[in-house]
A = this chain, B = another copy of it.
């Protein structure tokens, strides 16, 4: 696994904090992140680290050669997911919890609102991601491009991944999308899930707010950004936002953040971008049909 320290230009903006408790705390112990460049959940954690201006040591876990199922990595995250954060010798896992943990430990600049009810709103967006959009992006990405990569693995090699972590739920989903591609029922459920989420976002933003919760850039944006970015790279995003201008303006604001550029767009190679565009365009007509079918049903 590749290992390096990432220092952020952004840190310079926080020179006012150099002598503060927060700066001392952030340097008192090394932060280490096990992650993969174009993994949506890794992007969430990295955006948070960038927004906080924190230095961290990088350990790459290459998902394309199944390093997330390596027994050493499974000690950090028995589910075999990236990212995992190490801080003060403790492993913190689940990207949503890593982001909340970082905001808890390094409160400035804040990424959670002051009010308890507003914090619930942020967490509702996190749940929308964790209990729907995450699976959705997985099956879109898988049916569009990773499926072709998987065909190069042996049946036993594919099976072992899920047996390793005992994850029958993921295996069933994987097998369905591997076998049926974009026609898997998991893909049509993903379409429905994104439709519901974008509808809720439009209702939230249409009143003129710049951001989803409490008019501040928060973990709601951080949690959603990689999942919407992936749809955009797959050329699918316009299906949902062309007719929703409030989301379009909000999305441009998100993309204008330095943290988005530093941790999502800039690190992608032109080959990665091309692979997402070409393969996404292949499934797009069927995804559009599925959206129409969902709207006719709902």
Contact = CB atoms under 8 A, between A and B. Distances in A.
Interface of A: 78, 87-88, 90, 92-94, 96-97, 100-101, 104-105, 116-117, 119-120, 123-124, 127, 130-132, 163, 166-169, 172, 185, 188-189, 192-193, 195-196, 200, 294, 297-298
Given A101-B116, A101-B119, 12 more contacts: A92-B117, A94-B120, A94-B123, A94-B127, A100-B123, A104-B119, A105-B116, A127-B130, A132-B169, A166-B192, A167-B196, A169-B193
Contacts of A101: 116-117, 119-120
Nearest to A298: B166
A262 to B, nearest CB: 25
Contact of A97 (B123, B172, B188, B298): B123
Contacts of A185: 172
A188 B172 CA distance: 11
A297 B92 contact: no
Given A97-B124, A168-B188, A163 B117 contact: no
Nearest to A136: B169
A189 B166 contact: no
Nearest to A188: B168
A298 B130 CA distance: 24
Contacts of A93: 124
A90 B168 CA distance: 39
Contacts of A104: 116, 119
A195 B166 contact: yes
B117 A168 contact: no
A97 B166 contact: no
Contact of A90 (B117, B172, B195, B200): B117
Q: Name the residue among A88, A94, A97, A200 with the largest chain B CB count within 10 angstroms.
A: A97
A183 to B, nearest CB: 15
A200 B88 CA distance: 23
10 contacts: A78-B200, A88-B117, A93-B124, A94-B124, A97-B123, A97-B127, A100-B123, A104-B119, A130-B130, A169-B193
